Structure formats: structure tokens, C-alpha cells
Structure 1
Amino acid sequence: MSDDVPLDEQARRLTHAWRRWWWLWDLYFAIGFVAVTLTLLGEDDTSTLDHTVAIGATVAMAVLYITFGRPAIAQHDGDPPPWKGRTFMVGMVALLLTGVLFQQAMSFALFAVCPLAFMSLDLKEAILVVIPANMVPVLAAYAEDGMRAMVMQFFPGTLFTITFAVLLGAWITRVVAQSQERAVLIKELEESREEVSRLSREAGVATERARLAAEIHDTLAQGFTSLVTLVQAAESELDHDHAKVRKHLELAARTARENLTEARALVAGLTPAALGTGSLDTAVRRQLSQFAEETGMNVVYDADGDSSTLPTALEVVLLRMVQESLTNARKHSRATEVTVTLRVDENHAALQVRDNGVGFHPELPVDGFGLRGMRNRVAQVGGKLTVHSGDSGTTVELEVPR
């Protein structure tokens, strides 16, 4: 079946295959009914009573099929309720037996009865019906002409008919069962596809939430922290040094503008604003210069290699690591000096941020998002993040493959 057909449509087609091909079965039974009737009428050596009973049995079989058997089989896609299938076949075999007793040519109706048995019953029950039904003409020959006639009737004709009917019926039953199993599997696959789609949507939402959380933490939250620090510094100098107050307010205004730019970039799903106007090296230098102005710390930067050839995804991770490390140094370390080292070669990019603050225990659980967010970012690009911290300060090292 074509791959471009939806699974639910494929299942519907398989489920209703019986109904689509019923016109072939109807044609087959119609041809069989006409053929048997003409055969019965063509025999001249039988009495009017025999003709009447045999043809009556044939007509009754046709009526039983049209009014009871066909609706039961078609309505349940070839698998009618057991009581309906058994009732139908009991009636068909009884009419066949009646017709054969009065006119042996009625045995040709077996070509219609045998397929109906496999369509109405399960395989074992159908075989138990087909074999005795095919023996009816043999018994009729024995009753009329004796043992020799019975043996001639059974070998090879009836034996071949029984074997062919059983094998063909078993094959058809298996084909139908496989089609029904395939329809069930397609339905289950469709349900699984819907479940996978739902889980994918939820995973996408969760990933996007995590990305937004990391971006907000690394940009807006850090910017607001800088604003608070600068405003507090300006407030402390308000009555003493107006020049310092003005400087702090200018830095606060610049930080606010940069934060606004970052917010717009975040909403638009763009790269960090700091990378939008230059290379990673330029962005890091700008961050360090602003950090030194705001905190008064001594900042040392050492770069080696061409960082302009790095993919944007790696530039973002490296820049965010610098920002997060500087924020931690500002908020927690009470450091007086920060050293940033960037190394870029053909295969890797390595970044180290070291301060001389009080340090912390990197394995202890923390309430903040920073270190956890950094680890998540690094994992997304297949990098390695190492944090060393103690009384002499904190060193954060990152290595990412290009």
C-alpha cells in the first residue's frame, strides 16, 4: 500500500476490504446459482417431483444467502457472530442435503457452499462442515447405486474437491486474518504516532522553556543585577561625590539600553546582541571593560587564535559562560581580580575564567540557575565544563569541539 496514504485511511481500507469486493462474491454466487439451476433443469431422467424439490432447495439457498448470510458476513467484515454463522451454514447444508437426495446434480452447489463455510465460520468449524458436505454426493451415490458407485464418486473427484476446498479455504482465511491483523497494527501505529507527536510537542515546549530560562538568566537577570548595583553605588555617593554619581548613572543607563537590546533579540529569537556587531573576541572585551567599570576589579584578558571562525552556537555558549562567570564573581566571590583566557585552534575552543575570591563548593546544591544552566548549554554542544573552587578563588574551564 502506498506510503503517502495516511495510516488511518489505510486501516479503513483494510477494515472494509470485504465490503469493497462483495460485488465479486455476489457475481460468483449468481453464476453458481444459475449454473446449478440450468444443470438441474437439463436432466431429463428425473421426475417432476425431483426437479421441483431440487430447484426449490436451490432457490431457498439463494434466498437464505441474500436475506441472512450475506448481511451477517458483510456487516461484520467476514467475521460474523458465531451463532449467525452456524445458523446460516446449518440451513445451507440442510438445503444442499435435501437437493442432493432428490437430484445428484445438486452437488454442484458445493462450489458455493464451501466458500461460504470459510466466510461464515472459523477455520476448524469450516473444515468440519466442508468435509461432510462434500461426502453428501458420495452417500447419495451409495444409496442409489451401491458401493461401486460410491467408490467411483469418491475417487478421485470428491477426494480432490475436499483437499482443494480445505487448502484454498485455509489460505483465504489466513489472508483475511493477516489483513485484519494489519488493520489493527496500522491503527495501533497511528495511535503511537499521535502519542509520539504529543510527546514531541511537550518536549519542544520544555526545551523552549529551558532555553528562555537560560537566556533570561544570562541576559536580563544579569543586566538587572548590574542596574541594582550601579544605582546603589550612585545612592551611596549622592551626598559626597557628584562626579561618581554621574558616572554610575551613565553606566546604569548604558546597561539598561543594552538590556533592552538583549530583550528585543531574545523576543525575536536572534543571537545575543553583543555578538551582533562583532566577533566573539570583541564581545568578550566589551563585557570585561563594562565589568571593570562597574565593579572596579582588575580584569586581565588573554586571547589566542581566530575566534571569528567559530560557529554562532559555540560563540553564544562561550559568551554566556563569560557573562555568568563575571556575574558570579560580582555577586558571590568578593574577588579583586578576574582573568579570562580564550584559546581557539582547528579542533577546539577553550575558555578559562579565574578569580581570586573566596570560592565555593561546586558539588553542593545551589538555588540559582547559573551553574546548572551553564552545564546544560555546554552539554548541548558536546563540550566539557570543569569548575574548581577553593580558598584561593574559583576557576571555570570550558572546552568545546568545533
Structure 2
Amino acid sequence: MPADVPVDQPQRELVATAAAPDAWQRWFWLWEVYFAIGYVACVLLMFSETDVTPAGHAVAIGILTVMALWYVTYGRAAITARDACSAWRGRVFMIGMVALLVAGAFVQSSMSFTLFALCPMAFMALDVREAVLVIIPANLTPVLTALAEDGLETALYGFVPGTLLTITFAVLLGTWITRIITQSEERGRLIRELEESREENARLSREAGVAAERARLAAEIHDTLAQGFTSIVTLVQAAESELDGDRDKARRHLELAARAARENLGEARALVAGLVPSALGTGSLDEAIRRQLERLAEETSIKASYRVDGESVVLPTVTEVVLLRAVQESLTNVRKHSGASEVSIRLRVHGSAAVLRVADDGSGFDTDRPSDGFGLIGMRSRATQVGGTLSVHSGDSGTTVQLEVPR
């Protein structure tokens, strides 16, 4: 297989990347460890209160357990899910948590320590403004219970300063948590878009590679097999016209047709194998051009001349292929269309470039008129691929094709 043929590579598995959780979700287990530690700590604090009856302990711990179960069965999904219904589920979850907190705080005052878990959950389940509206009344619950049980003075001096500090800390911490979650989700979205863009770029690159390879193969087939078949058909037709007359001449045409067929077979094998043109595989570019002229002289009455100027250097294979294909295409056009009696080829190699010039004395053609053929298009495409330029000048006195490629 040719080295430059784009081979379809197995596409990278993008499903796992696209469905991967955001960074904050990957570390969500740390929050659940914190929640579990908070639950155990609150239970121990409740048991440490000696002024509460065993029934009060049981009710308070029961409410605390219901809060934990409410989080596990409903709240966790409301927090981690990011869909159209997650906002409403988050509101329902937090309403339930605050209601349980208020009920538990009036049973046992140590229930207020659950605020250390409830406040972060509010910012995870709700947007910032809604979370602030939830945590302010939630943090005022200890003040209200103290006011109901111990009076205004105890509530004012014993709980209000700590409550204000707790609210301030909760708002700052919650805003920070929300920003981390937002940044994490935004980063995840950008990563998914990047993965999709990379996949799209890879697809377009494969399509461009396939299109370029099709164009290359079209040029190769046109410059080798199609021209060879044209030559064979011409020689066979010439032999047919001589069968009833000069049999030796007909045999000579058939011999040339057989040789052209063998050369075409060699080109086909070289094309399939992705090798250099068979004409270059057995010699230098100079020898390959001379063989093309010999074939032209044997098959037609056109006089041909060839001259090399400048340095005698070995050019890169890709450059030699472009030059040889230009010679083949130009000679094919001379044979089929020009009606020329003479053609000359000049190859000049100098410091930075190689210049090929093919001139004939044929009838010429209108270079501005669109052509259905692939010859000139293929030559220009080949020249562009190696950073070269092709110019064609044609008129009543003949046609000149000049190709310049960098060394």
C-alpha cells in the first residue's frame, strides 16, 4: 500500500470522555464522608446533653436520622443531577431539611449543629440567591428556640453574635462552593466541546486525505494507464489498416502495441504497489525521458530532441515523478492534438529549482477555454503539491509547457 494513502484509524472512544463526571462530582465522596462524620458528631452531642429526657433524645435522634435518610434517598440525586428538574428537586429537598431542622431544634438545642452540613447542601442544591434565602432563616432557628425557652436577653447576647458569624461564614463558603461547581461544569463542557471538535477535525482530515488520494490516483491513472491504452489502441488501429497491404508494417505496429501493453502492465503493478513510476525504477530521470522520446519516434513521425543544462544532480523522487509525468502528458498531447512535426524538451537544473520546458510546432489551442480533459489539471495539481508552478503558452506557432519545481 502506498505510504501516503490515508488509512482509516479506529476512532478514539469518546463516549467515556463525554459522559465522564465533572471534577466536583468525582470528589463528591469527600462531602459524603463529611456528612457521615457530622451525623455521628451530632448524635454524640445530643447524648451529652443531660437536661434532655430519654424520650427527647430519641425524638431528636429520630429526626436527625430522617434528615440523613432524606438526603440519601432524595437529596443526593437532587444535588448531583444536572437536568431540567434538578432545580425543583433541590428546592423540595431543602424545604424538607429546614422543616426537620426547625422541628428538631425545638426538641433539642444541639440539633442546631446540623447547620454545618445543611448550609453547604443549600448551596449545592440551589442557586446562590435561593441558598442565601434558605440559610438565613435556618441559622436563625437557634435564636428563635433560645428566645422561646430562655427569653430575649439570652437569645440576644448568647446566640445572635454567633449566628451572624455563622451566616457570614456560610454565605462566603457557599459562594465559593458554587463557584467551584460552576467552573467545574464549565470546564467539563469545554472539554466535551474540544473532544467533539477534535473528532470533527479528524473526520474532515480523513475526508481531505481520501479526496487528495483520489485526486492523486486519478492523475496517476490518467498519466500512465489511460495514456498507455490510448497508445495501444492507436497502434492496433494502424496495424489493422495495414493488414491487407504492408504486413511487415502491420507486424511492427503490433510489436509496438505489445511492448506498450507490457509497459502499461508494469505501470499498473507499480501503481498498485505504491512504488515510483516503473520508468524511474530502472534508471534515472534523464534515461526515462529519453525512453519516452524513443517511443514517440517509433510510434509517430514526429522529430524529437532533448537537452539537459545545468548541474548534474539527483533530484528527490517526488520531484522526478512530477517532471516525468509532465513529459508524458505533454508528449501525449503532442501526439493526439497538436499535429506537430517537431517537439523539443529541455531540462535545466540550477541552484534552487529544476525547470522543464516542452515545446512543439503544432497548431496550438486556446488556453483560456475550459477543457474537459484531466491532463493540464493533473500537471498543475502535481506542481502545486511539490510547491512548483506550471505555465502554458500556446498559439499558431506551437505550444510551450514550462514546469518549475524546487529542488
TM-score > 0.5, shorter chain as reference: yes
1:14 aligned onto 2:30: no
1:197 pairs with 2:202: yes
For residue 350 of structure 1, give the secondary structure of its aligned residue in structure 2: strand
Aligned residue among 71, 75, 79 for 1:73: 79
SS of aligned partner of 2:117: helix
CA deviation string 1:28-61 (max 9, x = no partner): 2222222222222222234566545433432332
**Which residue number corresponds to residue 365 of structure 1?**
370
Q: What letter is aligned with 1:58?
A: L
Residue-by-residue CA offset, 1:351-388 (whole Å, 9 max, x unaligned): 00000000001121011111111111111011111000
Contact 1:79 1:119 in 2 (8 A): no
In structure 2, the CA distance between the partners of 1:79 and 1:118, relative to structure 1 (3 Å rule), is: farther
Distance 1:233 1:166, change over 3 A: same
The whole-number CA distance in structure 1 between the counterparts of 2:262 and 2:54 is 111
SS at match of 2:391: strand
Does the 8 Å CA contact 1:351/1:397 hold for their aligned counterparts?
yes
Q: Which position in structure 1 is the counterpart of 2:214? A: 209
Does residue 30 (structure 1) correspond to residue 36 (structure 2)? The answer is yes
Deviation readout 1:167-192 (Å, 9 max, x if unpaired): 21222222222222233333333332
Are 2:139 and 1:134 equivalent residues in the alignment? yes
Letter in 2 for 1:348: A
Deviation for aligned residue 1:265: 0.6
- Tell me which residue corresponds to 2:6: none
Of 99, 108, 111, 1:103 maps to 108
* C-alpha contact (below 8 Å) 2:143/2:160 kept by paired residues: no
Q: Find the aligned partners of 1:60 and 1:131 in 2 and give their Cα distance.
A: 22
SS of equivalent residue, structure 2 residue 221: helix
| Aligned match of 1:168 | 173
2:340 to 335, 343, 349: 335
SS in 2 for 1:302: strand
Deviations 1:234-259 (A, max 9, x none): 23333333332232222222111111
- Asked if 1:375 is matched to 2:375, the reply is no
Instruction: Quote how far apart the aligned CAs of 1:68 are.
Output: 2.7
The answer for the alignment partner of 1:271 in structure 2 is 276
> Aligned ranges for residues 39-118 of structure 1 at < 5 Å?
39-46=45-52, 50-74=56-80, 76=81, 81-118=86-123
1:394 positional shift: 0.4
Give the conservation status (yes or no) of the 8 Å contact 1:57–1:95: yes
Describe the SS at the equivalent of 1:14. coil
Deviation of 1:155 after TM superposition, in Å, equals: 5.5
Q: Secondary structure at the match of 1:303?
A: strand
SS in 2 for 1:299: strand
CA distance in 1 between partners of 2:15 and 2:184 (Å): 14
TM-score by length of 2: 0.90
Matched, 1:143 2:143: no
Please give the alpha-carbon distance, in whole angstroms, between the structure 1 residues aligned to 2:312 and 2:296.
Answer: 21
Equivalent position of 1:282 in the other structure: 287
CA contact (8 A) 1:14 1:179 kept: no
Give yes or no for contact 1:338–1:356 (8 Å, CA) kept in 2. yes
Contact 1:73 1:79 in 2 (8 A): no
Segments of structure 1 that go 5 or more residues without pairing to the other structure are none
RMSD over aligned CA atoms reads 2.4
How far apart are residue 202 of structure 1 and its match? 1.9
In 2, the alpha carbon distance for the partners of 1:52 and 1:281 equals 103
Q: What code does the residue aligned with 2:33 have? A: L
What is the CA–CA distance in structure 2 between the aligned matches of 1:65 and 1:355, rounded to whole Å?
Answer: 90
CA-CA distance at 1:273 after TM superposition: 0.7
How far 1:222 moved relative to its partner?
0.9
Give the superposition deviation at 1:16.
Answer: 8.3
Q: Which residue identity lines up with residue 96 of structure 2 in the other structure?
A: G
Q: Which runs of 5+ in 2 are unaligned?
A: 1-11
Q: How far apart are the structure 2 equivalents of 1:347 and 1:282?
A: 22
Distance in structure 2 (CA, Å) of the matches to 1:355 and 1:240: 32
Q: CA deviation at 1:15?
A: 4.3
| Secondary structure, counterpart of 2:373 in structure 1 | coil
Count of aligned pairs: 396
Residues in 2 aligned to 1:285 and 1:341: alpha-carbon distance in whole angstroms? 11
| Alpha-carbon offset, residue 262 of structure 1 | 0.7
Please give the per-residue CA displacement for 1:169-228, whole angstroms capped at 9, x wherever unaligned: 222222222222233333333332332222222222212211111111101111111112
Q: Percent identity?
A: 64
The one-letter code matched in structure 2 to 1:176 is: I
Tell me the SS of whatever aligns to 1:212.
helix
After TM superposition, give the deviation of residue 106 of structure 1 in Å: 1.9
Paired residue secondary structure (2:21): helix
Q: Are the counterparts in 2 of residues 279 and 308 from structure 1 also a CA contact under 8 Å? A: no
The correspondence of residues 228-247 of structure 1 with structure 2, limited to 5 A, is 228-247=233-252
Q: Which moved more, 1:99-108 or 1:392-401?
A: 99-108
* Shift in Å, 1:83: 2.7
Cα 1:285/1:210, change in 2 over 3 Å: same
* Alignment partner of 1:294 is 2:299: yes
TM-score normalised per structure 1? 0.91
